[in-house]
Structure formats: C-alpha cells, structure tokens
Amino acid sequence: MAEKEESSGAGEAKTELQIIKELVDELHNFRDCYFETHGVEEAGRRDGDVKQKMEETLMRLEEKEDILKHNAEFLLQKGRCLNVTPDFSAAAEECLSRAVKLDPCLVEAWNILGDQYWKKGDLVASKNCFTGALQHEKNKVSLRNLSMVLRQLPTPNKDQHGKHVLESVDLAREAVQLDPGDGTSWCILGNAYLSLFFNCGQNPQFSQQALSAYAKSAADKIASSMPDLHFNRANLFYYEEMFGCALEGYSRAAALDPNWEEPLEKEKQLLEYLEKVTELIQNKGKVKTRRLKTMLSNLNTSALGPCSSPQFRAPSGRVGSLEPRPLSSLTHGHNGGVAALGKVVFSLASQGRMAFTFGMVDSEETCLVVMVYNTADNWGVLIGDSVVVPEPNVKRHSITHKDKSYDFKSIRVDSPLLLIVNGKLQNAQSQIPVSVSYH
C-alpha cells in the first residue's frame, strides 16, 4: 500500500513538472517569437512584456515550490524562467547551482548557469559550466556558448587570443553541424568568422564565410528578430563597402531594439560620412580653381617613385613598371598594370569610421575618393600631396536609404603600405589592423 502511494506521488510530481516545463516553454516562445504576434513598432514594449510574463509564470511556479523545492528539474525550470530576460539574476544563479548539485548530469542546467555567469561578467566560471556540460553530452548550446566565451576571455598575448578565436570557430561549426536549422548557431558562427577575419590577417575567405553564416541566420524566424545579428552583419557590410546593406542592417537593429542607441548612432554616422564624401567629390574638396591649377601643374610622372621601376612588385604580385592612367579611364574592379596618380584635395580622419578617406584629383581634374584601411592613428595625407595608387581597385556606389541617395566612385586600398605618397613608399608604422565591434 505504501509503495502504491509512493508510486502515485511520483507520478503526480511528474505531471506537475511537465505542466511547469510547458509554462516555461510558453514563456520562452513568447519572447523568441514576439514579432510573430506583435508589429516591429511595438519593439520598445518587448522587454517589459517579457518581464511581465516572466513574473506571471514565476508566480505559477512558486505555487508548487513547497513540494518541489528539492527537485532538480523544478529548480532547472525556475532558473530557465528567471533567465528569460537579458539581465543577471542572483535568484536564477542560486536555483541552477542547486539543480546541478542535486543532479550533476543536468546539461541544460549547466548551460543556463553558464549563461548567468556570462551575464554576471564571470567568464571563467561561465567557460567551466559549458566545458562541464560537454563532458556529459555534446550539445549545440554548450558548443556555441563556449565559442562566444573563448573569444571574450582575456589572454596574455595576441597569439593566445588567435588560438582562442580559431578554437571558437571550430566549436561554432560543430554546433551548426549538430543542428543546421538553428539560426542562433549560424549567427554565432558568423561572429566567430568575423573575429577570425579581423584577428588573423583579414583573409577575404573568412569575411565571405561570415556573411554566408549571417545570411543563413537571417533566414531563421527566431534569429532574424535578434538585433545583434543585424548590427554585427552591418558592421561587416560597412567594412566591405556594401554601404546600402550596412544602413539597412543598422536601421533594422535599431527597430528591433529601440532602447539600444549604438545602431542608430552608426546609421547616422554612415549617412553623414556618405553625405560629406559626395559633397566633397562634387566640389573637389572646395579647393579654389587657381590653387587647384597650381597644384596640378607640378603633378608629373616623377611622383610615381618606385612604380616607374621595371623591378616594381605590384600588390597583385606582377613585376614591372606601372603605366599612369587618367582616373576617368579606370574600369570597375582591379586595374592591373596601371597606376592612378593625383593630388589630394580633401581628407577625412578615420575616427568613428572604417577607413581614412581622401579625395584625389588628376590632371584632367577628375575627382575620386580613396578609402584606405588599417591605417595607424597618426597616418594621413595632406592637401597638395601627390599620391599614387598602384593597380587601383575601383568601386561604384549607388545607395538609396530613407529617401536619401548617393552615387559616386571610389578606390579601395587595404593598407597604407600599398600607397606611394610624394614619390615614397609608406613605413611599417603607418599600418595597424582595423577592428570592428560586435555583440
């Protein structure tokens, strides 16, 4: 008889736990699929609505606390409930710590506890939770979260950080392989490739792999409502000079999280930059006609410097002197075997922007903008300098965003070391790798 009663009690507890899990699942679904039932214009209410639903769910859970407070599964679900908001919760940490003590094999509890430590800023404890969870079971959540933590952990030197970044890519790849349909895992793989691109030599392949991963993430209905995804991808679009896509990304991130100021600030910065660049190209940097003619009168092939030597090695690896060509004759894309030669008529420092930007005018008085990446803070060119761009890579930009349009051509230069200024190559100190923030 006693055994029957015990068995019946266990069955009852199981039913209660099932109901509790369904309540918490419903809460997470409400958060993750918020924009399926609400318009983007209601995005500002999302955090408040999720918090209110969390408190309602918590009240339902606390009704069962007396009989289930020593049950690991109950503590896990209570921790999950408290973890639904972006802030650290001491109560969640306590519940989850108790859950893993009662059942050390509870992988989900380890993962959520690791998430809480992440929110708290304790990255070492967070890493230990995800590593511990993987010892019990290989799972996508531990893998992708460990990928994130590794990239954030402080390291004694750049080499160690580089190793962490490489390892983080492998972990994120593994998470995607376990569930190729999970958009959140694709987003974290995109971030890992983004970090790899900027920390390990800016190999264009890594940039394309990041964009490919972000595209798969954006196709997922849950991941596509994450503002971080749109912001991080926009930063990479910006660096790749896909300005229209970058503006759309910042705008989307700001719409999904109206309380987050950075995307709006980035969008505003980029619009101001494009406005300034197009204006300066049109009026040739506002240099007065007489001064411009004087500047151009002493522009000659002596400014080519090493480019005129038959031993000159161009960025493409081609050896031989380069032929100076008018800016108007340059074709879209890579212009092999030729050099763009002109005088600087304006410059914009790279503060708050990806590239040091300057305008150059050639002997035909054609003006083109040059965007130089990976420049040291103290590097720049002055109005009147003669600049040569060996084998220029020309891009045409045609951008429309929020009733504003911009149309101009530019030359992209990946390092100041590729330029010849006043007949001279630039020294090694003029270059420093650019970094892009991501969330």
Question: What tens digit of pLDDT does each residue of 222-280 get?
Answer: 999 999 999 999 999 999 999 999 999 999 999 999 999 999 999 999 999 999 999 99
Residues 6+ apart with CB under 8 A from 37: none
Domain(s) of CATH 2.40.50.550: residues in the chain: 284-430
Query: DSSP alpha helices (H): ranges in 283-412?
Result: 289-297
Residue 428 has pLDDT above 50, yes or no: yes
Query: How many Å is the Cα radius of gyration of the chain?
Result: 28
Which of helix, strand or coil describes residue 79? Answer: helix
Residue 11 binned pLDDT confidence (cut-offs 50, 70, 90): low
How large a percentage of the chain has pLDDT more than 70? Answer: 95
Closest of 384, 385, 410, 406 to residue 327, by C-alpha: 410
**Model pTM?**
0.90
Q: What is the pLDDT of residue 5?
A: 36
pLDDT of residue 67: 87
Predicted local confidence at residue 2, as pLDDT: 37
Whole-angstrom distance, CA of residue 93 vs CA of residue 76: 10
The average confidence (pLDDT) of the chain is 92
What's the pLDDT band for 438 if we cut at 50, 70, 90? low
Q: What pLDDT does 247 receive?
A: 97
Q: How confident is the model at residue 3 (pLDDT cuts 50, 70, 90)?
A: very low
Taking Cα atoms as reference points, which of 76, 82, 74, 83 lies closest to residue 58?
Answer: 82
What is residue 436's predicted lDDT score, i.e. its pLDDT? Answer: 61
Closest CA to 187 of 151, 217, 209: 217
What is the C-alpha separation between 416 and 418, in angstroms, rounded?
5
Asked if 44 and 104 count as a contact pair (C-beta separation under 8 A), the reply is no
* Per-residue model confidence as pLDDT tens digits over 323-333: 999 999 999 99
CATH class (in words) of the domain with range 284-430: mainly beta
Say yes or no to pLDDT of 4 above 80.
Answer: no
pLDDT digits (tens, 9 = 90+) for 291-324: 999 999 989 888 899 999 999 999 889 999 999 9
Both structure tokens of 90:
């001491």
pLDDT, tens digit (0-9, with 9 covering 90-100), for 330-348:
999 999 999 999 999 999 8
CB 96 within 8 A of CB 75: yes
Three-state secondary structure call for residue 190: helix
